[in-house]
Amino acid sequence: PGLHPAARLAPAPAVKSPGAVRAAAQQCLALFDLDGTLLEGDTDQLWCAFLIDEGVLERAAFEAANADVSARYAAGEIEPAEFCAFYAATLAGRTAEQWAPLRERFVAASVAPRIGAAARTLVERRHSAGDELVLTTATGRFLAEPIAALLGIRHVIASELEVDAAGAFTGRNQGVLNMRAGKVERIGAWLATRGESIGRLDDAVFYSDSINDLPLLAAVGRAIVVDPDEWLADAAAVPVDERKNVI
């Protein structure tokens, strides 16, 4: 379904002369939030619900907690450490290879149907314009990477998950969590690995729906709100070029 007609909000791609090639440093950096922006719903909440339905997690222990964590995240009321730790814990005790079959089914059944045609069109439009696309999400990398691949987005900045000596997830995160101010820090670190400065954000565009993304919305040269949540829509000073709900 066309759940997020975000393409209407996207600036028209720049017209390039035939054969013109922009160097990487000259490309526009197009950053995308995932949940609520390109995907209708929250990846972590959907994953937890999927595992409950599959009998992997106990409904009595996780269903109400999942709803509570998700609601407080949406309102911008939960700390990044608590949010990320809750969902990292759902992966504890198995390796990525052991989780892979369930992840594949999850992406096919719970994620792909929630990525609308308009979201895909927006991503393709930015790609066709020669922009450098980055998916930046608080979701753990294990879940974020196949979704980015589904969207055709090469670069992924996500919250990182700790693994033990045997390669199994410990149920804990590691490093700077990619949430709120952490998104700005992590994109800065990513740019630094490429020999680029945080100043590259001056010419970047960022698409998001969430109050949790205010720090990165404020840091980029062009902030575009896609179907904002009620808390972002009500923010006193939202640094966006286009502030409107998309129906």
Please write the tens of the pLDDT for every residue from 152-169: 999 999 999 999 999 999
Collapsing DSSP states into helix, strand and coil, what is residue 221? coil
Helix (H) / strand (E) element for 224: namely strand 222-225
Q: Are 113 and 206 in contact (CB under 8 A)?
A: no
pTM for the predicted model, two decimal places = 0.85
- Give, for all 247 residues of the chain, the pLDDT tens digit: 443 444 344 443 444 433 344 444 458 999 999 999 999 999 999 999 999 999 999 999 999 999 999 999 999 999 999 999 999 999 999 999 999 999 999 999 999 999 999 999 999 999 999 999 999 999 999 999 999 999 999 999 999 999 999 999 999 999 999 999 999 999 999 999 999 999 999 999 999 999 999 999 999 999 988 887 777 777 645 544 444 333 2
- Residue in the block written with tokens 């927006």: 122
Region label for 128, one of left (φ > 0), alpha (ψ between -120 and 50) or beta (otherwise): alpha
Catalytic machinery residues: 33, 35
Output the pLDDT for position 26: 59
Beta bridge partners of 205: 30, 222
